[in-house]
Structure formats: C-alpha cells, structure tokens
Structure 1
Amino acid sequence: MTTVTAAPTLLIIAKEPVPGRVKTRLTPPYTPHEASALAEAALADTLRTALRVPARRRVLVLDGTPGPWLPPGFDVVPQVAGGLDERIAGAFAVCDDGPALLVGMDTPQLTADTLALVGGGGHDAWFGPAVDGGFWALGLADPSQAGPLVRGVPMSADRTGAIQRRRLVEAGLTVRDLPLLRDVDTASDAASVARLCPSGSAFATVLHSLAEVAR
C-alpha cells in the first residue's frame, strides 16, 4: 500500500462548450446553444472549485480550444485520440510523481471539501461513483498505473463504475469511495443538480435564467 500525504495533481477532462458538440442529450428541451451554455457554466463551476483546493498542479485535459471561461492557474493539454478509456489513461500520463485525481465537467455541484478528501489516508485509489452507474472521479496515488487499470473498461454503460472499481480492487489497491454524485446528462439531471449547487454557482444561475425565459 502506498502512503500518500501530498496534494494531488487535479485533472479536469472536458470538451470545449460548442453548440451541437456538448450536452446533446439536453436537446430537447434545450436548444444546442442553451445546452452549450449549461455545459460552459458546469465547466466554469468545476474549474473554480478546483482552484479552491490545494494542488500540486491543475491541468485541463481539453478536447477543443480554451475560451474566456478558462481562469488562470491551469495548464492545458489536448486529449489523446480514442475512446473515453484511452482519453482518461492519456490524461493520467501527463502527471508527474505523486497522486492525481481526474474529474469531468458534468458535476457542477462538486465542492472543494469533497475534492479535499483525495491525497491522504494511505489509500492507493479514490473512486467517485455516479448515479447513472458510471463514475465522476478517479484518483490514483501512482498515476503511472492508469493505463492497465482504465483501458478496456466499457464506458457510458450502467456497469461502467462497477467494472472500473473492480479493476482497482483486483489490482490490489486500497480504494476510498467518494460521495455518490449525479452527472448532468438530461434535463431532469440538470434540474436535480442545480438544486445541490453551492451558492454562486454559474450552472444554477444559467439554468434558472433559461427557466425564466421559458415562462
């Protein structure tokens, strides 16, 4: 078992919020431009939360081009080609020594207190299960292990999280489970997540403004 006390490298894997390319399951009821506005707000919330947590390094692993939504304090690296399993493994490959935690852009309700659970306690891995059966976070004390742990895991399935967590356990890693969170995939998800967002959330603000316009 690896004893870890260092602040982790924080990896945020995301798509550039371009209409028609992000959050397509929100359309309908939202238009592609409204869905991209929600995606941008969710990403902005996630990046802002990452800035509130001690980190060895903060890295945005991006499919696309950075925009004005990106605050200072992040290195930006492109996603590798391939399926999501390959892209996650590629994200961990940019890390130096020390623990690393990867999260997506779909959980704007994420708090700094939750992120701060990673990096201590003598664990080898951290796992954040998602309501839809996937996972919203994956952390490794040794990020060089990510390739064989992640590659080949079927993504976007209702057993994705269970399979990924089993991979960690079968590799002999001690796993700390993080809180269960809901990803924003559908309009129903968006409404549920907005109610859980911290005060000042860009995502909740945008969702509320769209609801006001629809009245």
Structure 2
Amino acid sequence: MTILVVIAKECLPGKVKTRLHPPLSLAQAAELAAASLDDTLRAGSKLPATRRILAFDGIVPPRAAAGYEILPQVAGGLDERLAAIFDHCDEPTVLIGMDTPQVTTALLEPVFTDWTDDVDAWFGLADDGGFWALALAEPDGDLIRGIPMSREDTGARQLDRLRTAGLHVVFLPTLTDVDTIDDAHTVAGIAPGGGFARALAAMLAPSEKGTTR
C-alpha cells in the first residue's frame, strides 16, 4: 500500500520554467511546463497507488489531475513544503516532481511492487545534483526539513540525511530535470512520444521553417 504524491505549481507565464526564456517566450515556457506536468500525472495514474495526491501551488489544477486529491502546499521554502507533504501521509509514500516528464509507469512500478520490509526509502537523483523522487516507508518530514534545496549538493545532502537516520536506501535511475532548453531537448529525445516532446516540437517548428540551409 503506497501513496503517490506529485508536487507542482500552476503553470502560469512568468511563474514556471523561466529559464527556458529565451529562446521560448514565457507563455511557451508555461505551456511546456504544463505538458511536463500532464505527462507526469498520466504516468502516475497507471500505478497501483492507494491514494494519488497532487500537492498543488495554485488555483486551477490541470485536467490530467482527475482522480488525484488536491493538497494545497504550505507556505515556506521547498524543504518545508516537502516536509509538510510527508507529515500529511500515514503510509508508505513516494513523492515526485513535475520536471521529469520522461518518467514512466514502469520506472516507478518497483516502488509499488518490490518494496520489501528491509527497504526504508527509495531515492531518485537528478543529474543536476538534486533529486526527482523520494519514497519513505515511514513518512517523516524531519527527514527533509532543513535540507538546502535547488543546489548542486541537494541530492547528496538529502541522501546523507537518510543514511544518517539509519535508513536502507534503494536507488531509482538518475533522470534529467528540465531547467534549460538543452535539458528540454534531451528529455524530448528520451521520451519522443510524450506530450512534452510534441509540445516542444510544435514550438520550435515555426523558427525551423524559416531557416534556410
């Protein structure tokens, strides 16, 4: 029995994926972020979770969140918001973000089917030094609270916190977070059939059409 939580913010221009501007406009960056979130939510909807929660910072959740409980995020830094989510849950919980649209049901399935009694946590590092997934057999916000976020050593510090607490950690594959346009191209190449890749291709098509070789 495992809870799935996706943490996300409403995809509004100027509020999400601003590092994609330029070359994308702020409106396009927001549209691409929405496609990333939709792909993530759809992958999660196929997992055998006991509950599906969208921890949401915003007003209007996306249509792809149908079937997800909406949990408003608390105020504070990202560590405080993540900690509050785990404090809210009372059974094994896996938390993922909205920045890895290449995530698949198969990639996350072991957390739901192979979680044995000797495993205390699952951890998915991101190649920018952060992490994209954290699952705890016994959710406890104090395992996250106080970890400096959005740094090159965030993942290492979080892993050290888990191990210092005596947890047996199993790793999920390392993924690329979409922060820059180069990241977007990389992720679209990994998952060319997803909505994220299609949205990116549509945005780039007009400029490509005007290019002569």
Q: TM-score range by the shorter chain?
A: over 0.9
Tell me how many residue pairs correspond in the alignment: 205
SS of 1:180 mapped into structure 2? strand
Q: Is the Cα contact below 8 Å between 1:63 and 1:78 reproduced in 2?
A: yes
Counterpart of 1:45 in structure 2 is 39
Aligned with residue 202 of structure 1, among 195, 198, 202: 195
Identify, as 1 or 2, the structure richer in helix: 2
Match of 2:136 in 1: 140
**Deviation of the 1:67 alpha carbon:** 3.8
Taking structure 1 as the reference length, what is the TM-score of the superposition?
Answer: 0.92
Q: Map 1:10-159; keep pairs closer than 5 Å.
A: 10-96=4-90, 98-119=91-112, 120-122=115-117, 123-143=119-139, 145=140, 147-159=141-153
In the alignment, does 2:207 pair up with 1:211?
A: no
Instruction: Using the TM superposition, name which of 66-75 and 114-123 deviates more.
Output: 66-75
Which residue identity does 1:22 align to in structure 2? V
Q: Residue deviations 1:166-214, cap 9 Å, x none?
A: 1001100110100000000000000000111163x11011001011122
C-alpha deviation, 1:92, in angstroms: 1.4
Three-state SS of the structure 2 residue aligned to 1:178 is strand
Q: Percent identity?
A: 51
The aligned counterpart of 1:3 is none
Deviations, residues 25-66 of structure 1 (Å, cap 9, x unaligned): 111111000000000000000000000110010000000023
For the 8 Å contact 1:63–1:79, the answer to whether it is kept is: yes
**Contact 2:126 / 2:177 at 8 angstroms: preserved in 1?**
yes
Q: TM-score, normalised by structure 2?
A: 0.93
In structure 2, what is the Cα distance between the partners aligned to 1:84 and 1:57?
A: 22
Q: Note the C-alpha offset of 1:95.
A: 1.4
Where does structure 2 lack aligned partners over 5 or more consecutive residues?
209-213
Moved over 2 A (4+): 66-71
CA contact (8 A) 1:111 1:198 kept: no
Q: CA deviation at 1:121?
A: 2.5
User: CA–CA distance in 2 between the matches of 1:90 and 1:68?
Assistant: 22
The residue type equivalent to 2:86 in the other structure is F
Letter in 2 for 1:91: I
What is the Cα-based RMSD across aligned positions, in Å? 1.1
Distance in 2 (alpha carbons) for counterparts of 1:115 and 1:42: 16
Q: d(CA) in 1 for partners of 2:176 and 2:132?
A: 8
Alignment match, 2:156: 162
